Amino acid sequence: MALDGKLLALARKQLEDIRHHNEDAQAAHRQEVYARLPRVQQIDTALRGQMRELAGLTLWGGKAVSEDLAKLEAENLQLQQERRTLITAAGYPADYTDDRYNCPNCRDTGYTDGRMCSCLRRIYNALVTQQLSTLLRGDERFSKFDLGLYPDLPNENGNNPRECMAIIRDFCEAYARQFDGRGPNLAFSGGPGLGKTFLSACIAKVVSENGWSVAYDSASACLGAFEKERFSRDPEEKSAAVATVRQYLSCDLMILDDLGTEMSTPAAQSALYTLVNSRLTAGKQTIISTNLSERELEQQYTPQIASRLLGEYQWLHFLGTDIRRR
Ligand SMILES: Nc1ncnc2c1ncn2[C@@H]1O[C@H](COP(=O)(O)OP(=O)(O)OP(=O)(O)O)[C@@H](O)[C@H]1O
Ligand SMILES: [Mg+2]
Ligand SMILES: [Zn+2]
């Protein structure tokens, strides 16, 4: 769900396509009418001339001018009336050659008075959801979670990865199916390629299928959006970031993937604190996955963050050998 400028650019491109499509359709209608009713084309040329004249007159001002203005207006109305009569008499709807907009509000430009129009936001939000569904479109399913990929031998600590992962899988499946917006927060820890992202996707799918809103993002993209929300000087990028951050904070389940891979900056720390703390305060669930051990986490993050992550999250330690390298 890394919204940033990229998705917004995509949304604006879609709107531009709509605009071009409408312009083409309108141009075709006009040509069709001109071919059948040459007089309409003459009228349009005359109307354009009047517009130029009008612009000239309003520049001059004065009394003599206001008489000219009135005369021009009368002629203008007359021409428009004649045009309408011709078009409807030929069997076309009166607005057949008019400009056409999917959104009359912003005339498909996406902005009104410099503010993002709701039509653009709608397209944008659809893209955001679509992005989450790339996570949901994959075929990660609890039923496809293969325990055979985890060694069935005790490791150096005497833990059997396959047995431990069976417990984790069952726990996560129950968590997802019973999700009611009140369960614990989870932290998945373990080395690379052990199925943390895979299990997150399984949970995301079930929870969102049950009608809860789910947001998923990597820590770097997520914390980056917080930074853009605060610091971006580009109004579009900023309003996109505002929308994303709102979603991160308000969704029923937030999945923050790959915590610890983001650039460690004061802004990222502050963003992580805001995310973790706001969601805890609001009683909303979060799932974090990380390669960091609990000890490394304490080293990398402020005590306020580490305390919350270690104290308020249920930690699940993934075991096994890197599945990517099998
Ligand atoms: N239990 C599983 N059954 C089937 N495929 C799996 C399982 N676990 C992981 N995989 C596959 O192995 C690959 C690595 O898994 P995944 O991306 O979930 O690892 P990860 O723990 O998130 O790693 P990283 O810490 O590097 O992000 C993926 O292609 C995933 O689909
Ligand atoms: Mg991962
Ligand atoms: Zn609009």
DSSP string, 125-162: HHHHHHHHHHHHHS---GGG--GGGS--S--TTS--HH
What's the pLDDT score for residue 3? 43
What's the pLDDT score for residue 132? 64
Which residues, in sequence order, are CB contacts of 231 under 8 Å at separation 6+? 267
| Averaged pLDDT, 108-124 | 89
Ligand 3 (ion): residues with CB under 5 Å are 103, 105-106, 117, 119
CB burial of 55-65 (b: ≥16 within 10 Å; e: otherwise) equals: eebeeeeeeee
Whether residue 125 has pLDDT greater than 90: no
**Residue 128 resides in a domain:** no
Residues 275 and 152 in one domain: yes
Pocket of ligand 1 (CB under 6 A): 145-146, 149, 192-198, 258, 291, 323-324
Instruction: State which residues form the domain around 28.
Output: 21-100
| Averaged pLDDT, 84-107 | 94
Residue from 323, 324, 325, 326 whose mutation best tests the ligand 1 pocket (most atoms within 8 A of CB) = 323
**Residue 116 resides in a domain:** no
Q: What is the pLDDT of residues 186-226, one digit of tens each?
A: 999 999 999 999 999 999 989 888 878 888 888 998 999 99
Residues 168 and 298 in one domain: yes
What confidence tier does 2 reach under pLDDT thresholds 50, 70, 90? very low
- Euclidean distance between CA atoms 162 and 152, whole angstroms: 5
Q: How far is the CA of 107 from the centre of ligand 3 (A)?
A: 6
**Residue 184 resides in a domain:** yes
At 152 the three-state DSSP class reads coil
Supply the residue whose CA is at minimum distance from atom 16 of ligand 1.
195
DSSP 8-state class, residue 3: -
User: What is the chain's mean pLDDT, rounded?
Assistant: 90
In this structure, what CATH number is given to the domain that contains residue 215?
3.40.50.300
What's the pLDDT score for residue 1? 37
**Residue 13 resides in a domain:** no
At 314 the three-state DSSP class reads strand
Chain centroid, CA 72 distance in Å: 49
Q: Decide: residue 85, CB within 10 A, 0-12 exposed, 13-18 middle, 19+ buried.
A: exposed
Which of these three, 100, 122, 150, is where a domain ends? 100
Residues 42 and 167 in one domain: no
Q: What secondary structure does DSSP assign to 281-292, as a single string?
A: HTT-EEEEEES-
| Averaged pLDDT, 298-318 | 97
CB 173 within 8 A of CB 142: yes
What's the pLDDT score for residue 129? 63
Question: Residue 95: how many CB atoms within 10 A of its CB?
Answer: 11
* Residue 1 exposure: Cα atoms within 13 Å on the Cβ side: 31
Q: How far is the CA of 261 from the centre of ligand 1 (A)?
A: 17
Q: What is the pLDDT of residues 34-58, one digit of tens each?
A: 999 999 999 999 999 988 888 887 7
Domain count, the chain: 2
At 319 the three-state DSSP class reads coil
Q: How far is the CA of 323 from the centre of ligand 1 (A)?
A: 6
